[in-house]
Structure 1
Amino acid sequence: MILRVDIRGNGAQLSNYLMALGDNSQVEILEIDGRETSDLDYLYQTIISMELNSELTKTDKAFFHAQINPAYGEDKAMTREDWYLAADILAKGTGYENQRRVITLHTKKGRTHAHVVWERYNHETGKMIDNKNSKYKADATRSIMEQALGHKQTPYRNPHRFDLKQAATELWNKTTTGAEFIKEARKAGYMVAAGTGNRPFMIVDGTGRAFDLVRQLDGVRTKEVRARLRHEPLITDKQAIELMREQSSKSGKTEQQKQEQKPSATNIAKDFADNRSDGTKEDAQVTNQRKFDQVFEEFKAASKEATKPAEPDKTEQERKQEAAQQFAENKSKTVNQPTPQELERQKIVAEQERIKQRSLQRKRHR
């Protein structure tokens, strides 16, 4: 399970984000201030009222926003009561118990996660709930949440973290450009992505866990990483996490499943070979038939030409008459068509005529 928590403001934008379809295939309101059935207008009013209460203090961060993202497959078994229980456990661990809240469910690419927004303003004390160490507190509630929901326990630390650090450092040292480093990291099973805030660059491992890239590089400073990667196009760490998890789930077939698929694959290959051999025989028959048809047509054409009656020989007088007629026709065409010399002479005469006309016009104006 992944938990993301942070404080934020801008209630209007938050309301739109909670209900925007965007890349989501489905958006559902689970609870608004204790009401299970409500609509968008009431959600907007509740969020804005939380933001107005924050004006009684000096902060503009009116909301504590959390994302509860169960592991693949475990989200499908979550009921409404399970989502409520997860939100209650997180609220108790972070100090937001009994605070007004809004819960929405987003389904994206067949996977569901929850957004929970709590009001930070405490109406009893008139102060904002302290956000100190909220991320560590939320992380501590994760194991409690997973145990209560019957989910698989997420390891507190990645057992392969040392391998990641060693591999990332070696790849960094053996490459000279950002493009080379990104390419070599991808070959090694990692993905370099863009982060936010103090973590501008992230690296995601094969299990879909993201780490600060700078911390995984021994002896390398943030400005060096920024200088090498600042011009490289990078996807966000969220997108990289989704891609790596999808890849991991697709390649997570057991050896038994692969063995079960082998007989069917063998049968398919055998059927393909049989069909191919049958098709080869049929193709040979078709080719032979086409060759036979072609030879037969050529034979018929040759026979027809051979049996065609010969034209009678023309007399000497007839040949002279045809030659004279052809000469007369050619001569008429030649007479009607001016020669190149004639065309050139006509152009010169026409140009002289135009010069003469211009001279006459000038004399008249004078």
Structure 2
Amino acid sequence: MILKAKERGDGGQLARYLLATRDNEHVELHEVSGFVSENLIDAFHEADAIARGTRCKNYLFSISLNPPEGAYVETEIFEKTADLIEKKLGLDNQPRAIVFHEKDGRRHAHVVWSRIDSEKMRAINMPHYKTKLRDVSRELYLEHGWDMPRGLQDRRLRDPLNFTREEWQQAKRAGVDPREIKTALQQCWATSDDKSSFQSALKERGFWLARGDRRGFVALDYRGEVYSLSRYAGVKPKELSARLGDHSDLPSVDQVKAEIARGLSRKLEEFIKGAEVDARQRMAMLDFRKGEMASRHKDERGKLKSGQEKRWLLETKERAQRLPRGFSGIWHRLTGQYAKIKAQNEQETLKAWQRDRNQKDEMIFKQLEEREALQRDIKRQRSISSEELMQLRKDVANFQEIERPDPERKREEAERRRSRTRRPTGP
């Protein structure tokens, strides 16, 4: 699991943060040990009071234990991990607290130790704790067979040939079958009898008429691809001129590209607004489901806790009644029966405690599985919406770039116009 740690002070603020339910669906104070108070806020105030007798400002050591996504980690594993960390860092027998948080179908723990040795009245030094925690994290991934993050893997095992297929394909341009383009342009020519009707026919098929740099009459698609009409429509230049007139009257390729870009940019902006509205509506429904689920899970846990407490009191009472009192109790002590009954009660108490904890973990895991399924829906929806919006915005950016033609190209076009209008001089 990922371990993130920090030395810090201000115990009161930390306690309030750990107990806050605003950003978490479930919060459980699992353990407060080594402090006089069992209340987390009072316990951290106690640590603050002791630290005032030293020069240490960051008297607390806080760490978060984050299992991999989809891993169901028993409470015992969190406890053993906390025990291992405190041994590694020299925090044995220091006061500590454990708080569980659940959010988005995942459960993680926060463990906080007091760094102040109350007997020596000094802070415990923890050199190289980040390196030690990294080793603990690696060991946990290896022990449980979890997929280890790249940052924890041995750097010598990295593959330098790590290009993705998407990155490779960025250099390739997806095009329409040229035969289909030829057919469309030939049909537009066949169904028109002048420039106006030809332009209308082209527009219906997604093409625009323009003045080419070398080819005279050309057609453009929405991507800015240029097609020679004499070649793709199969019409001779003289026929094109006879029906369409002088090609110098037409806008240039860059001008048509800018026109196309302006129109499509506005259309794509509308698409983006619609996609954002749809995404908000879908996320609102998922947020409602998330809130309803969290409330239901809290009720289920409350009922389980209440039932376990009632059963615990009843079983404790039954075990207490087994112990004889009065003269009978004295006699049982003398004969050794009292010790046997006491040992039996202690064994049953331990089993009952383990039973209740396992029952609680079983419910938590079941709820996490349900919440995880919902989180997959949420992530999938976010991914779909994000991908759609990202592609639309990318398209808008591309078209906005087309709206700003290359200045060099503008200068070259102006030079060509001047050369065409320049009259030759005689000898």
Greater RCO (CA < 8 Å, at least 6 residues apart): 2
TM-score range (shorter-chain normalised) is 0.3 to 0.5
Q: TM-score, normalised by structure 2?
A: 0.35
Q: TM-score, normalised by structure 1?
A: 0.41
Name which one, 1 or 2, has greater alpha-carbon Rg.
1
* Higher share in helix: 2
